[in-house]
Amino acid sequence: MIDAIDLSMVNWARAQFALTAMYHWIFVPLTLGLSFLLAFFETLYVRTGNEEWKRITKFWMSLFAVNFAIGVATGIILEFEFGTNWSNYSWMVGDIFGAPLAAEGIFAFFLEATFFAVMFFGWNRVSKRFHLLSTWMVAIGSNLSALWILVANGWMQFPVGMQFNPDSARFEMENFFEVLLSPMAIDKFTHATSSSFQIGALFVVAVSSWFLLRKRHLEMAKRSIIVASVFGLIASIFVAFTGDESAYNVAQKQPMKLAAIEGLYQGDTNCALCAVGILNPDQKPGQTSDPYLFAIKLPGALSFLATRTFDGFVPGINDLVYGNPEQGVVGVTDKVDSGRIAVEQLALYKGARKEANDQVAETALATFKEHEANLGYGFLQSPEEAIPPVALSFYSFRVMVGLGTYFPILFILMLVFTLRETIENKRWLLGLGVISLFLGYLASEAGWVVAEVGRQPWAIQGLLPVSVARSNLTTATVAGTFFMFLFLFTILLIAEIRIMLKQISIGPEEK
C-alpha cells in the first residue's frame, strides 16, 4: 500500500492543502450553523421576554466566540499556499478569484467590526431589537461571506464566464454573473451551508445531551435540543434536496467524478445505484468485469439521479476514457489529442509573438482557440490519468450519504423524546447525541473529499491539471512545511478543544 503512494512534490502540495482545508473546515461549518441558532434563541427571547432564552443565547454565544477566535484567519493560510505551492494556478486564476475573494475580505471585515461587536458587547447597552438585528446580521453575513469562496470553488469545477488570454496566461472574467450564478456555484453554496446548519444543530444537541447525561442545566439543555432539532431537521431535508441537485449537475458537468463516486466502469441505461458496496481493488480501467465484491443496488436509481429518467444512459469510466460513439461520449483519448494540439499551438503562438511574426501568430491562435476547451488534456501522460482515485471517492460518498440519512432520524428522536419529557431517561439516545457531533464532522469532511478528490487530476476542470498548476519547488520544501503545519494545527486544535470544554463545563450564567 505504501509503495502505491506517490510522494512527488505535487502530492505533498495536495496533502498540505487538504490538511489546511480540512482543519479550516472544522471551524467554518460551526460558525455558519451556530450563528443562525444564536439568532433563533435570541428571537425567542425578544418575542417572549423570557430571561431563560437570554441565558441560553449568551451561553451558546460564548461557545460561538471560542470557535470563531480559534478558526479566524485559518483560511488565510490557504491563500498563502496558493501563492507558494500553486503559483501557476494562482497566476492563471487571479483575475477570476480576485473579485470574489476581495469582496469576501471587505464584507467580512465590516461585518466583524460592526455587528460582531454589538453582538458581544451590546447586551444592555443597545436596544433589544438592535441587538437581535445584529445577531441576525452576523448569521446572514457569515453565510454570505462563505458564498464568495464557494463561488470560486464552483468555478474550478465548472469554469464559465471567462476567456483565456494567451499573452498574459490568465483566465480573464467576461461575465461576473455567469461565474456567480453557475449551477456548480449555487450547488456548492446551498449544499455547504445547509450541511453546516446540520453541524451547528449537532453541536447544540451534543453539548445539551452531555448536560442531560450529567444532570446539569436541564431546562437550558432541553430547550436548546428542541430548537436545534427542528433546525437540524429542516436543514437535513434541504441537504438532501441540494445534494440531489448537486449530483445531477455533477453528472452533467463532471461525469468522470460521478463514475468514480459510483465505481461505475461500464456505462449503462437503466443504471443501478450502489447503496452499499465493497469495490474490487483489482479492477482496472478497460476491464468489463463486475467492479464490486459486494453490492446492494437500487435499480434505475443512478440513471434517474444523473438524467432524471430511469432509462437514461450513465457513462462509466471506460466510456469516458476510451469513448463510446454509440452514446455520443467523446473519450479522453480524443481529448488528449486535441489538448496536445492546443499546447503546441500555444507554444507556436508564443514563439511567433516573440519574433513579431503576426501571420504565424494569428494562425496559431486560431487553431489554439479550436482546441482550447481541451487544453488541460494536453498535459496528461495517458488517458487513464484523467481517472480520479475511485476507492476514496466511492467510500467517502457512502460515508457522507449514510450519515446524512442518519442525522434526520436522530433529530426526530431527540425532538419527540424531549417534547414528551422523557429524554432524560433515554441515556442511549443522549450518548448517541454526543457521539453524533463527531459523525457530523466526519460526514462534512467526507463531502469535501468527494468534491475535491473526485475532480482529480484537475485544478481547473479540463483546463489545468494539478501537475501543471504547481510551483517549481522541491519535494523536500513542501514536505517540510506540511509537517510544520501538521504540528501547528494539532497544537491549535488541542487549544480549541481545551478552551471549548472548559467553557462548556462552566455552563451558562447563574440565574
Q: Is 135 exposed, middle or buried (0-12, 13-18, 19+ CB in 10 A)?
A: buried
The closest of 395, 396, 345 to 371, measured between CA atoms, is: 345
DSSP code string of 227-284: HHHHHHHHHHHHHHHHHHHHHHHHHHH-HHHHHHHHT--S-EESPPEEEEEEE-TT--
Based on the shown chain and the rule CB under 8 A, indicate whether residue 365 belongs to the binding site for other proteins. no
Residue 280 near other proteins by CB under 8 A: no
Min dist CB 260 to other proteins, Å, is 19
Instruction: Say if residues 120 and 61 touch (Cβ distance below 8 Å).
Output: yes
* Residue 131, C-alpha cell as written in the block: 441587538
Residue 341 backbone phi and psi in degrees, to 5: -65, -40
Of 27 and 397, which CB lies nearer to other proteins in the complex structure?
27
Q: Where are the beta strands (DSSP E) in 362-501?
A: 458-460, 464-465
Q: Which three cell numbers stand for residue 215?
A: 444532570
Of the candidates 47, 49, 51, 72, which one interacts with other proteins according to CB under 8 A? 72
Residue 484 interacts with other proteins (CB under 8 A): yes or no: yes
Nearest CA to 33 out of 198, 237, 242 is that of 198
* Residue 79 or 424 having the CB closest to other proteins: 79
Does residue 468 interact with other proteins by CB under 8 A? Answer: yes
Pick one of 128, 297, 350, 369: the residue that binds other proteins (CB under 8 A): 350
Q: In 10 A of CB 486, how many CB atoms?
A: 15
Residue 2 binds to other proteins (criterion: CB under 8 A): no
All three cell numbers of 323: 469513448
Question: Strand pairing partners for 294?
Answer: 278
Among 18, 19, 84, 307, binds other proteins (CB under 8 A): 84
9 binds other proteins (CB under 8 A): yes
Is 83 one of the binding residues for other proteins (CB under 8 A)? yes
Chain positions 173 to 192 lying near other proteins, rule: CB under 8 A, are none
The minimum distance between CB 87 and other proteins, in angstroms, equals 4
Selected range binding other proteins among 30-38, 300-308, 315-323, 341-349, rule: CB under 8 A: 341-349
Residue 495 makes CB contacts below 8 A (sequence gap 6+) with: 70
| Minimum gap (Å) between residue 299 Cβ and other proteins | 40
Binding of other proteins by 121 (CB under 8 A): yes
Residue 269: CB minimum distance to other proteins, A = 36
> Judged by CB under 8 A, which of 476, 495, 497, 501 binds other proteins?
495
Among all chains, which residue has been given the C-alpha cell 476491464? 287
Using alpha carbons, select from 220, 189, 192 the residue that is nearest to residue 207: 220
First-to-last alpha carbon distance for the chain, in angstroms, is: 58
In the bound state with other proteins, the residue whose beta carbon lies nearer, of 82 and 313, is 82
The CA distance from 262 to 294, in Å, is 13
C-alpha cell at position 21: 482545508
Told to check if 475 binds other proteins by CB under 8 A, we report yes
137 forms part of the interface with other proteins (CB under 8 A): no
Whether residue 301 contacts residue 273, with contact meaning beta carbons closer than 8 Å, is answered with yes
Please report whether residue 92 would count as binding other proteins according to CB under 8 A: yes
Binding mask 375-394 toward other proteins (x if CB under 8 A, else -) reads: ---xx-x-------------
Which residue from 91, 107, 292, 322 is in contact with other proteins, where contact means CB under 8 A?
Answer: 91
Shortest Å distance, C-beta 68 to other proteins: 8
**Cell numbers representing residue 250 in the block:** 455533477
Cα gap 72→74, rounded to integer Å: 6
What x/- string results for residues 34 through 63 when contact with other proteins is judged by CB under 8 A?
Answer: ----------------------------x-
Among 29, 471, 482, 508, binds other proteins (CB under 8 A): 471
The one among 102, 169, 276, 501 contacting other proteins by CB under 8 A: 169
* Rg, C-alpha atoms of the chain: 25
Residue 87 touches other proteins, criterion: CB under 8 A: yes
For other proteins, the closer CB: 226 or 341: 341
Give the range of 133-141, 153-161, 164-172, 321-329 binding other proteins by CB under 8 A: 164-172
d(CA 130, CA 124): 11
Q: Strand pairing partners for 277? A: 295
Question: Does residue 369 touch other proteins according to CB under 8 A?
Answer: no
Pairing of strands 292-298, 273-279: antiparallel
Considering only residues 37, 46, 314, 346, which one is a binding residue for other proteins as defined by CB under 8 A? 346
Q: Which of 281, 389, 261, 279 is nearest to 5 (CA)?
A: 389
For residue 477, the minimal CB distance to other proteins (Å) is 10
Separation CA 323–CA 121 (nearest Å):
62
| Residue 124 touches other proteins, criterion: CB under 8 A | no
Q: Which residues bind other proteins (CB under 8 A)?
A: 6, 8-11, 13, 62, 65-66, 69-70, 72-73, 76-77, 80-81, 83-85, 87-88, 90-92, 117, 120-122, 125, 166-170, 343, 346-347, 350, 378-379, 381, 466-468, 470-473, 475, 481, 484, 488, 492, 495, 499, 503
